[in-house]
Amino acid sequence: MGDDFEMVRRDADASPRDPIPQTQAEEPDHPTWHYALVVIAGFLVMFTTCAFVFSYGVYQSLYEEMARVEGTPFTGSSTALINLVGILAIALMSMGGPFAMHWAKIYSPQAVIIAGGWVFGIAYILSSFGKVLWHFALTQGVLLGIGTCLAYVPTMSVAPTWFDKRRGLAMGVIISGSAVGGMIWPPALRAMITHLGFRNALRISGCISLVLVSVAGYALRWEPKFQEQVRLQMQGLRRRSGWMKAPMVNYRVARSKRFLAQGLGCFLQSAGYSTPLFFYAAYASTLGYNATTAANFITLSNASNFVSRIAIGYCADRYGRINALVATTLLSAVVVFAFWLPSMFHTGDVSKSSADGLFIVFTILYGAFASAYISLFPASLIELFGVQHFTSVNGALYLIRGMGALIGTPLIGLLIPRSGALTSSYIYERAGIATGVLLMAATLACLWVRIEATLGQSWKWRV
C-alpha cells in the first residue's frame, strides 16, 4: 500500500514538523475493481449532493424574480436574504465536518453517507412545501447542508485512504462528479421549473439524490489497513455515547504554523469562492440574457470544471499537490480582476459585446481554477500532517471552510444593492473586488503552507 498507509506507531503527540511522509510508486495491493468502485461511488455522491448545492444559482435567480411578484413566498425579500438560503447549505456542508468524520470512525463511513443521502432527499422534499422564506432557509438551507455534510465529508476522507501515487488524479475524478452534475442539473432544473413548477423540481431532485447517494454510500468504506488504525484510535469509545464527544485535533498539530497556514487558506478561499457561483445566473441577467440562457452559464462553468479537475489532479500528482494548490488559487484571483470586474462596465467604458466575451471567459476560467482547491487540499493533508492525524485535521479544516462561507459569502452579498440587482451589472463591482481580494489573500496563505512544508529540509520543487 505504500508508506502512507503502513501502521504508524508514533506517539499521538507527534509534531507535524516530522519529515513529510514519502509516497511510493505503487498503489496498495487490492483488486483494480476496488479502486474503480471507490471512484465511481464518490463520483455519484458529488454528482448529486454537491452538484445540487452549487446549482442553487438557478433558484437564486428564480427566487429574485419571484420577490418582485405579489403572493409568492419571496415577495419583498432582498437579494441578501434569498442568498442566505444557499449560503446556509454551502456553509453547513463543511461546518459539520469534525462530527461527520467522528461518526464515520465510530459507525463506519457507509452508515454516515447513507444517512446523509436520506437527510438530503428529505430536505428537498420538505422545502417543496415552503410557504415563506424562513421555511426554505430551514429546509433548502440548514437541513440540506447537514445532509450534504454527512455524505460529502466522509466521501472526501475515504477516497484518499485507498490511493497513494494517483491520489490527486483519483480525487480530481471524484470531485468532478459535482462538475458533471453542474452541467446536467441547471438546465434540467430550469426545464422542470418551467414545465412542472419549482416545487415539483425540488421533490424530483430529493428523490433522485436519496436513491443515488444510498447506493453509492454502501461502497465507500475505509481501506482495510486504515480501518485497522481507526479501530485502534476508537478503542475504549462506546458506540452509544461516543457520538456525543466533541472530536478534537491534536493540540500540538492545531498550534503548529503548518495547520494555521492551511486553516487560514481554507477560510479565505471559502469566503470568496462561492459568491460568483451563486450569482452566475443573476449576473448574466444584468447583461441582457433571458432566464434560460443565464442558467447556462452555470452549466458552462461546470463543463470547464469537469475537464480541469481531472487535468489538475493529474498535474498535482506529477508536479506536487501543494504547488498545484498555490497556482490554481492564484489564477482564480487573477481571472476575477482580469475578466469579471471589467465585464461590469458595459454601460460605460466597455461595449456590450466585449462585456459578454469577458464574462464568458471568466465563467470558463473561474470554473477551471477556483474549484480545484476543494479536491487538492484534502489530497495534500497526509503529506502535511501524517496519516495518524489525517481524519481529525480534515474534519477541522472542513469546519473552518464552512465558517468562511457562512461569514464571507453573506457579507459580500450585502455589497450588492437590492435595487437593480437584475438590471445593472455595475452594482456587482464591490462584490467582485471583495471576492478577488479574498482569493489573493488565500493564495498567500497557500504559499505559506508551501514554505512550511519544506522548512528545515533541502529545497524541493515537487511538494
- The structure's pTM equals 0.71
Which of these, 124, 119, 186, lies nearest to 149 by C-alpha position?
A: 119
Within its chain, how far is the Cα of 318 from the centroid? 23
pLDDT single digits (tens) 277-325: 777 777 887 777 776 777 677 778 778 877 777 788 778 878 888 888 8
Grid coordinates 428529505 are at which residue?
122
Cα separation, 438 vs 431, whole angstroms: 11
Which residues, at least 6 apart from 91, have a Cβ–Cβ distance to it below 8 Å?
Answer: 145, 402, 403, 405, 406, 409
> How many CA atoms lie less than 13 Å away from 205 in the CB half-sphere?
37
Q: What does the chain come to in residues? A: 463
* pLDDT at site 21: 43
**What residue ranges do the domains of the chain occupy?**
32-233+243-454
pLDDT single digits (tens) 400-443: 888 887 888 778 877 877 654 455 667 788 888 999 999 999 99
Burial level of 274, CB count in 10 A (0-12/13-18/19+)? buried
* pLDDT at site 73: 85
222: left (phi over 0), alpha (psi -120 to 50) or beta: beta
Which of these, 98, 174, 32, lies nearest to 400 by C-alpha position?
A: 98
| C-beta separation of 369 from 332 below 8 A | yes
Instruction: Give the chain's residues under pLDDT 50.
Output: 1-27, 420-421
* pLDDT at site 210: 92
Cα separation, 177 vs 174, whole angstroms: 6
Quote the cell numbers at residue 265: 487558506
Cα angle: 17, vertex 19, 20; to 5 degrees: 105
Quote the cell numbers at residue 313: 489532479
Grid coordinates 466533541 are at which residue?
246
Cα separation, 19 vs 71, whole angstroms: 63
Which residues, at least 6 apart from 337, have a Cβ–Cβ distance to it below 8 Å?
Answer: 436
What does R_g of the chain's alpha carbons equal in angstroms? 21
Which residues, at least 6 apart from 369, have a Cβ–Cβ distance to it below 8 Å?
Answer: 308, 328, 329, 331, 332, 335
Q: Is the dihedral of CA 230, 234, 239, 245 positive or negative?
A: negative
What CATH number belongs to 32-233+243-454?
A: 1.20.1250.20
* pLDDT at site 409: 75
Which of these, 358, 283, 366, lies nearest to 61 by C-alpha position?
A: 283
Kindly state the helix (H) or strand (E) to which residue 216 belongs, with its residue range: helix 198-217
* pLDDT at site 138: 92
